[in-house]
Amino acid sequence: MSFQWLHMRIQEERDRRQREALTLERLPQSLEELYGILKEAITAYTGAFGTDAAEMVLVLSRIKITTREMRDGRWNPAGNVEVIIVPEIPGFRIERGEYSTAVEVGLLPSNKLFYRDREQDVYLTMEDLKKRILDRLLFPKLKE
């Protein structure tokens, strides 16, 4: 007795598992790529407001970004955000104080990455992703 639907579902599941494994394998590299892109934005920001206005580091499976404000002649912490690899998603979690959001990372057939906001169920361009990470951190007093 042939179970055509079963064979199709088995193949679909094999394909899904393979895509997931490839995505998990690419997560560290995608975090490094994101770091490079964010670095350009941080460089522009510190060029405008001073070299101590922001700092970004890549540590293991996370990007940590800290901003500072000049008050009373000293640089004081103003905010921070972390982008953390979360294999269970698979993707990143953006954490900023009480705010936290999950961004799914996946592979397109062309082997390029896509990003999807899991809570809002929308796909993100790299520009959207940068804005989600940096906008409220760098410009907390400006309206969105």
* Separation of alpha carbons 95 and 83, rounded Å: 6
- Residue 144 domain-assigned (yes or no): no
Q: Which of 38, 71, 57 is nearest to 138 (CA)?
A: 38
- 44 DSSP 8-state letter: H
Is residue 143 a part of any domain in this protein? no
What is the residue range of 27's domain?
Answer: 4-138
Q: What is the pTM of this model?
A: 0.86
Domain count, the chain: 1
Does residue 89 lie in a domain region? yes
Q: At what angle do helices 4-49 and 126-138 cross, to 10 degrees?
A: 40
Q: What integer pLDDT is reported at residue 20 of this predicted model?
A: 86
pLDDT for position 110: 84
> In this predicted model, what pLDDT tens digit does every residue of 25-39 receive, in sequence order?
999 999 999 999 999
- Asked whether residue 36 is assigned to any structural domain, the reply reads yes
pLDDT band at 112 (very low <50, low <70, confident <90, very high): confident
Predicted confidence band of residue 1 (pLDDT cuts 50, 70, 90)? low
Q: Is 122 among the domain residues?
A: yes
Instruction: Give the separation between CA 76 and CA 97, rounded to whole angstroms.
Output: 17
- Does residue 118 fall inside a structural domain? yes
Query: Rounded to an integer, what distance in angstroms lies between the CA atom of residue 71 and that of residue 38?
Result: 26
Q: How wide is the angle at C-alpha 100 spanned by C-alphas 98 and 105, nearest 5°?
A: 170
